[in-house]
Amino acid sequence: MKEYELTVLIHPDLEADIEKPLASVRDIVKNAGGEIVKEENWGKKKLAYKINKEDFAVYVYFDVKLPSAAPLKISNVLNITEEVLRYLLVTVDEKGRAALAEQVKNAEADDSEEK
């Protein structure tokens, strides 16, 4: 299974009861044979441009592991899911992730040396 990053923009009116649309997205991933590794709710943010006459959306980020056929299945279902304004499903760049982890490690080492 390959690792992917899924970012979902959920309709802002659903912010009060965010668990219901999130459960729907989780079910979509699991029904496609995927596994959710990490989930982060980034909160309600202003959009750069209007989507379906909305200025805001609730951003939710997922790290997922998916079999090869799952991305197409997930895309097809998310395209017709009304709670989801937009989504982005991309493969994880392992080199980029390793470089970022190295930068964080070096920054922490520099901070500890200054003290």
pLDDT recorded at residue 114 = 64
pLDDT recorded at residue 54 = 92
CB 35 within 8 A of CB 69: no
Instruction: Find where tokens 């959710």 sit.
Output: 36
**If DSSP codes are grouped into helix, strand and coil, which group holds residue 79?**
helix
pLDDT recorded at residue 60 = 95
Give the list of residues 6+ apart from residue 82 with CB closer than 8 angstroms, or none. 11
List the Cα angle 64/65/67 in 5-degree steps.
135
Type of residue at 66: L
- pLDDT tens, per residue, the chain with 115 residues: 889 999 999 999 988 889 999 999 999 999 999 999 999 999 999 999 999 999 999 999 999 999 988 999 999 999 998 999 999 999 988 787 788 888 888 888 777 666 5
pTM for the whole structure: 0.81
CATH number belonging to domain 2-114: 3.30.70.60
**Domain coordinates in residue numbering, the chain:** 2-114
